Amino acid sequence: MADPTTDTDVVDELTSDHREATALLDQILASSDPQARRDMADTVITELVRHSVAEEMYVYPAIEELFPDGKQVVQHDIEEHKELERTMKELEGCSAEDARFTALVGELRDQLHHHATDEETEQFPELRARVPRERLVRMREQVDTAKKIAPTRPHPGAPNNEVFHKLVGPGVGLMDRVRDKLTGGKTKA
């Protein structure tokens, strides 16, 4: 049985995701091996898409409900997610040997840093102040589950909201995973 006093909560999980993605982007920038760069880029794209979808499904509704300016906070974050998705989509279709690849990785890193800083310095402390620890642990469990069924590729044209992700997202995620399996994760769609 989960112990909410010792289990990690949703803030811990999402902060860890930010750190891991940033570290991977730094590794891409430091590498000169095109295949390793491509593989790491595909991994970071998958993880950031899953992170974003899970956040939109379970964290943003809580922010919207509990923060005095929740709707505006969520709208701002969704706009940042769209920006990240557009960059990821462009990166997904770019050869690791193309000069634009490095520029896109740097752009993605800058966008992620900005977004993560906003969340970690403003929203996450407020979330912890407004949401009981047990609920934060439960939200982390929901986020973990959502990541397992979430899409693995950016879909910048899709809605970034809880209802879409809960109703359509699992089907999109399944199609992405089938495509990943059939192509070894190398499709640039």
79-100 confidence digits (pLDDT tens): 999 999 999 999 989 999 999 9
Sign of CA dihedral 87, 88, 93, 95: positive
pLDDT higher than threshold 90 for residue 184: no
Element (DSSP H or E) covering residue 175: helix 169-183
Question: Can you give the pTM of this predicted structure?
Answer: 0.78
pLDDT higher than threshold 90 for residue 46: no
Determine the Cα–Cα distance for residues 151 and 162; give it in Å rounded to an integer.
Answer: 14
Determine the Cα–Cα distance for residues 132 and 134; give it in Å rounded to an integer.
Answer: 6
pLDDT higher than threshold 90 for residue 146: no
Task: Please provide the DSSP assignment of 21-56 as one string.
Answer: HHHHHHHHHH---HHHHHHHHHHHHHHHHHHHHHII
Confidence of residue 185 (pLDDT cuts 50, 70, 90): low
Q: How confident is the prediction for the chain on average, in pLDDT?
A: 83
Tell me the backbone φ, ψ of residue 187, rounded to 5 degrees.
Answer: -65, 135
